[in-house]
Each structure stands twice: as C-alpha cells, then as structure tokens.
Amino acid sequence: MSHKINILAISGSTRKNSSNGNLIKAIAALTTDIFTIEIFEGIDMLPHFNPDLDYGKVEEDLQVANFRRKISAADAILICTPEYAVGVPGSLKNAIDWTVSTMNFSKKPVALITASTAGSRGHQSLLGTLLIIESSITTDTQVLISSIQTKINSSLEITDRETLNLINKLINSLAAMVNGSVPVEALLPAPLL
C-alpha cells in the first residue's frame, strides 16, 4: 500500500477511559502499518442539533464545522459505541444528526462496532441511521462485541481471540472498501421506511 488510510474514529462514550475509547486505541495499535487513526474528541461539546440553525448558520459554530470537515476529509469512519438504555448514546446521535443535511456520511466507508454489556438493540438502531444517511457498510464492517470490559487488558490489547479475529476481519474489510475492492452489491441497503 502506497499510503496509509486516514480514519476518523468516534467513540460513542463520553466517559474518560471508556472501553470503547480503549478499543479504538487498541485498533490503532494493531493498524499502524495501514491506518492513520485520528480520534475525534468532543462529541459532547457539539451543540444540541437544531434544524433552524443547520441551514446557512451552522458554519458559525466552529465545533460543528470542524466535525463535518473531519468527516469529509477522512477516507473512512470508525465508530465504537456502547449501548445506552437499549439505544444509541445521545451525544453520538446528536453528532450524526449534524451531518445529515450536508451528506458527510454519504458513500463514506464506515466501520461500526457496538461494544457493550449487551448492545444488539443500540447496534441495530445506529446501523439503521447510518444506512439511511447512505454510509457504505458491509456485513464485515460491523461488529457487535458483548462484555467488552473483559476483552481488553490494561495495556490496551485485545485479549479475547474471537474478538481479535472479528476486529482483524473488520480492519481488512474496511481497508478493502476504501481501496475500491468491495463490489457495490456487498454494501448493505438502507432500511425500508
């Protein structure tokens, strides 16, 4: 590979030293030869989404403009998130809502990892949102990891073999998608409304 793939990573948890933030760091350590991963800090600093402010006025908000710019500049997006109350964490959903009108996620390769105690309902909800806004996702670029706290050690290494295999498959699939070697038929369709 002639150049590294630029990945913008977003943790759905705003907690300091969260399992999802640690998982992003573990993935960054595994992929130094193929990815340059920038972790977006500050989804909790974005203002509450307000459609009245979205058209023509949002560029005045530097945090929103910066978030949109980083998504547009990235080759791909990596989202690692917990599930809160069987749904998507509010700060993550709010951040994504700020990108809808600008289509920042449209045709953008996205890897989605829901790492939580359970997580299936939050995962399905976020997957549906990402597909509606035209993110490029395949079955191999989305993973649900339960009990994540038991699968990463204090050195930020993935210690569970099955989880590591899933993550490696996701990494390779995301790289293939960015490099154009995934057929369009492999992309998941948007859910029916």
d(CA 18, CA 152): 11
Sign of the Cα pseudo-torsion (107, 109, 115, 121, in order): positive
The pLDDT value given to residue 29: 96
pLDDT means per 10 residues, the chain with 193 residues, are 89 93 96 97 92 69 91 98 94 96 95 93 96 97 94 94 97 97 92 76
Rounded to 5°, the CA angle 9-13-14 comes to 100
Domain boundaries defined on the chain: 5-185
The pLDDT value given to residue 62: 84
Give the CATH number of domain 5-185; options: 3.30.390.30, 2.40.50.140, 3.40.50.360, 3.40.50.12280.
3.40.50.360
How are strands ordered across the β-sheet holding 5-11? 35-40, 5-11, 76-81, 110-116, 142-146
Instruction: Supply the pTM of this predicted model.
Output: 0.95
CB 20 within 8 Å of CB 10: no
